[in-house]
Structure 1
C-alpha cells in the first residue's frame, strides 16, 4: 500500500515532467510563430471537445454552475495562459524559470497570507531574503553587461506567477476534487475565451506548419490541461500548496538549462546566478540539513528506551 505522502511525490514527478515540457514547448511557440491567442484557443478547444461529452455521459455537470469553477478558470486558465504564453515571445526559457517558477512558491505564500491570513513560516522568510537578494544581484549584473535589468517578458512572467499562486491557494481552500478542478478549468476557459478569440482576436495559425500546430495542441490540450492539472491538484492535497509549488519549481529550472543547447539560448553569468539563487530559495534545502531519516529516529528512540533506567 503506497502512503499518501509517496503518492504526493509521484504526482509531483508527473507534474514536473509536464511543466518542464511546458517551458520548452512554450518557447518553441515563439520560434514556430504560434501566437498566444492561437495556442490558448486550440488548447482549451481540444480539452473542451474531449471533456464536455464525458461530463454529459456521466451526468456530472452540476458542479460547473457554481462560482468557484468560473473563478478558477478565469485566473488559472484564461488569464494565466495568455500572460505566460505572451511572455515567452519576449524572454527566453531561463527567464521563465526565474521570474515565473522561481517566484511561484513565494507568491503562493503571499497569496495565502493576503487571502486567508495564513502566516509566513520561518523558512518562508529565509526564502524571501534569498530570492530578493538573488534578484537584486542578478539585475545589477544584467544592467552592467547590457544596460537593461528587466524587460516586458520578465514582467509578464512575474504576473503569471501571481496568477498561478492565487489559483493554487484557491484550489486548496475550495477543496475541489482533481477531476472537477481540471474539467471546470478546461470547460469554463473554453466557454469564456473561444467566443472572444473567434470574434475579436487575430488568427495566425494558417501561417504555422500544420505539424507544429498539431504537436503543440496535443501537448498543451491534453498533457498540460488534463494530466498536469489533475496531478498538481492531487499533489497539493497530499503535500500542501507550498511544498508542491516548491518541488515542481525544479523542472523549469532544468528545462532552462536544456534550452541552452536545444534552442540555442544564451545563459549569461547573471542569469546563472539568478537560477541558482531562485532555485535555492524555492527548494529550501536547509530544511533537510541535519534531519535524521525515519529509520534513524526510530533506532535512536529504541536505543534511548533500552538505556532508560528500570523504574521497578
Structure 2
C-alpha cells in the first residue's frame, strides 16, 4: 500500500488564501446577481455580460506567445464550459429568480463539496476518512433543516429553484474533480470557459433579441459588467482553480462552502433579506460540516 502524506504547510496556507479570495467574490456574486434579476436585467443579460466581457478580457491567454493553444486544450475547454460555464450560470440564475440570495448561497456552494466528495470516492478512489464523512453528513442535515425551516417561515420553497441550484452544484463538483487532472493552467481554463460559453450563447442571445440591457442604468451595467465579466469570469475562476491545485478538490470545495455565511451577511444590507434565527442556525450547522471537510487531501508519496 502506498505511503500517504499531507500537503506541505506552506502550500496549504497558500491554497487557503486563494480559496478565501474566491469565497469573497462568490459571496458577493449571489447578491449582485439576484439584485439584477429581480430588477431590470434578465438571466440572459447576466450570462451575456459574464461571458462576453470575460472572453474579451482573457482572450490573450488563448494565444500564448502568439500561437493558439493545442487542439486538446480547446476540446478540454469545451468540456469545462459545459460544466462550469454556460449551463452552470443559467441554472444558478434561474435558482436565484425562484429563491433568495441566502437560499441560493446556502444550497449550491454547500452541495458542491458533497457531490465532489461522493463522486471522488466512487470514480477516483479518494479516501476521505471518518471526519470528512461526518462533515458531509452535517452538510446534508443542515441543508435539510434549512429547507424545512424556510418552508415554515416563508412557505414552501420553489422546487424548480432548488433543483436548478442542486444541478449547478453537481456540474461545479464534476468540473472541480476534472480540473485537478487537467494540464491546463488556471487562467487557460478560465479563458476557455468564457470563450466557448460566449461562442455558444451570444449568437442566440443577439439573434433572438433577448437583450434587456437598455432597461438598466449605465451604473448598473458598469457594476454588473465588472462583477460578472471581470471578477467572476476571470478572478474567481483563476483563484478557485489555484486552490484546487494546491489543496485538492475536497478541501478546496469545502472552503468554498463557507459562502452562505458571507452571502447572507451581504444580503442583509443590500437586499433586505434578513434570515430568521432558525435559518441562521441551520447555515451555521452547514458551515460546521464544511470545516470538517476542509482539510487537504492526503496524496500518495512521490505524487
Q: TM-score if structure 1 supplies the norm length?
A: 0.83
Residue 100 of structure 1: CA displacement? 0.8
- Residue of structure 2 in register with 1:33 after alignment: 40
What pairs with 1:1-312 in structure 2 (closer than 5 Å)? 3-53=10-60, 55-56=62-63, 58-63=65-70, 66-149=74-157, 151-200=159-208, 202-284=210-292
> Mean alpha-carbon deviation: is it higher for 225-234 or for 172-181?
172-181
Describe the shift of the 1:273–1:194 C-alpha distance in structure 2 as closer, same or farther (beyond 3 A).
Answer: same
Structure number with larger C-alpha Rg:
1
Residue 280 of structure 1: CA displacement? 1.3
- Residue of structure 1 in register with 2:6 after alignment: none
Residue 113 of structure 1: CA displacement? 3.2
Residue 10 of structure 1: CA displacement? 2.2
Residue 286 of structure 1: CA displacement? 10
**CA offset digits 1:170-218 (Å, max 9, x no partner):** 1112242112211111111111221222223622111111220121011
Describe the shift of the 1:236–1:227 C-alpha distance in structure 2 as closer, same or farther (beyond 3 A).
Answer: same
C-alpha distance in 2 between matches for 1:124 and 1:285: 5
C-alpha distance in 2 between matches for 1:286 and 1:214: 35
C-alpha distance in 2 between matches for 1:211 and 1:220: 14
Describe the shift of the 1:286–1:37 C-alpha distance in structure 2 as closer, same or farther (beyond 3 A).
Answer: closer
Describe the shift of the 1:113–1:286 C-alpha distance in structure 2 as closer, same or farther (beyond 3 A).
Answer: closer
Q: TM-score if structure 2 supplies the norm length?
A: 0.85
Structure 2 gaps of 5+ residues are 1-8, 296-303
- Residue of structure 2 in register with 1:309 after alignment: none
Residue 71 of structure 1: CA displacement? 0.4
What is the aligned residue count? 286
C-alpha distance in 2 between matches for 1:14 and 1:259: 18
C-alpha distance in 2 between matches for 1:172 and 1:260: 35
**Are the counterparts in 2 of residues 8 and 236 from structure 1 also a CA contact under 8 Å?**
yes
Residue 77 of structure 1: CA displacement? 0.7
**Are the counterparts in 1 of residues 61 and 188 from structure 2 also a CA contact under 8 Å?**
no
- Residue of structure 1 in register with 2:298 after alignment: none
**Are the counterparts in 2 of residues 64 and 184 from structure 1 also a CA contact under 8 Å?**
no
Describe the shift of the 1:147–1:250 C-alpha distance in structure 2 as closer, same or farther (beyond 3 A).
Answer: closer
2:272 is paired with a residue whose SS is coil
C-alpha distance in 2 between matches for 1:3 and 1:253: 27
